[in-house]
Amino acid sequence: MELREATEQPRNLRQLIVERVRSAIVSGRVQNGTIYSVPAMAAELSVSTTPVREALLELSQDGFLTPLRNRGFRVEPMSLSELDNLFDLRVVLEAFALQSIARQGLKDSAPLRSLADSVADAVGRSDVDGYVEADRAFHHAFVQRANNPLLTNMIMKLRDNMRLYGIKSPAGEERQRASVGEHYRLIDFAEQGAVEEIGLLIGTHINDWRPIFRAALSETLRVD
């Protein structure tokens, strides 16, 4: 895959590389222990080494990679306790965000319903990568309605740091289908001002993924 280097937008290029590598890691497309070489990746993407090195350093700060002297960056495994911590924090923060929205009363739900339709469409096409992208866009747009940029950034950072192992398994595909209807119910609760109901549903919506990810991650750790 070649990326066009734009010297006037180095941050954008670095972010593209961050997203590409993070996606490969969280989806399990690259194995734990894989070494990313800065010169090799720069050559593969037809860019200079600077944005590649900056991108891999950013991912090392997030715990995805470990810098190795004169060797590159090694993909690090996530522990089950780390995964559980991410789930616990996501439930607390996303419940707070959505309950805040419900207290205010959600206005103009059409954009959110359109994003929920995109999730449903991806599931209908069995497009897992499309599902991940559409699901992220839906939740990002939803929590933004709480009008708390710091909270939104924290929530999305937690989501982006999840390891989505098992998302393509039969259980993962079933969970994707179940999540479609939950998105519309979350919107309905926010419009109705159903604070308690939306808090309970977002907790279930998130936590029902936990055993799927844990089982797949456990298998990965045993193999490694």
Last residue of a domain, one of 23, 57, 75: 75
Neighbour-count burial of 202, counting CB atoms closer than 10 A to its CB (0-12 exposed, 13-18 middle, 19+ buried): buried
pLDDT, mean over the chain: 91
User: pLDDT confidence of 223, banded at 50, 70, 90?
Assistant: low
- CATH assignment of the domain containing 67: 1.10.10.10
Asked, for residue 2, whether it belongs to a domain, the answer is no
List the CATH number of the domain containing 199: 1.20.120.530
Q: What's the total number of domains in the chain?
A: 2
User: Between residues 105 and 27, which one has the greater pLDDT?
Assistant: 105
Predicted pLDDT of residue 3: 54
pLDDT digits (tens, 9 = 90+) for 6-60: 444 556 888 899 988 988 888 778 888 899 999 999 999 999 999 999 999 999 9
User: If you search the block for the tokens 């991806």, which residue do you land on?
Assistant: 122
Report the C-alpha gap between 39 and 44 in whole angstroms: 9
Work out the burial of residue 115: count CB atoms within 10 Å of its CB; fewer than 13 is exposed, 13-18 middle, 19 or more buried: buried
- Same domain, residue pair 61 and 108: no
> Within this chain, do residues 66 and 85 fall inside the same structural domain, yes or no?
no
pLDDT in tens, 128-178: 989 999 999 999 999 999 999 999 999 999 998 888 889 989 999 999 999
Asked whether residue 4 is assigned to any structural domain, the reply reads no
Residues 122 and 49 in one domain: no
Considering the domain boundaries, does residue 169 fall inside one?
yes
Say which residues have a Cβ less than 8 Å from residue 199's Cβ, sequence separation at least 6: 95, 98, 99
Q: Which residues pair with 65 in a beta bridge?
A: 75
* Residue 208 within a domain: yes
pLDDT tens profile 87-97: 999 999 999 99
Q: Say if CB 105 and CB 145 are below 8 A apart.
A: no
Average pLDDT over residues 166-194: 96
3-state secondary structure of 88: helix
102 pLDDT band (50/70/90 cuts)? Answer: very high
C-alpha angle 62/66/67, rounded to 5°? 115
| Shared-domain flag, residues 200 and 93 | yes
1: in domain: no
Q: Are residues 134 and 168 in the same domain?
A: yes
Could you tell me the residue range of the domain that residue 55 belongs to?
Answer: 10-75
DSSP run (H or E) holding 188? helix 170-192
pLDDT reported for residue 40: 93
Is the pLDDT confidence value at 65 over 60? yes
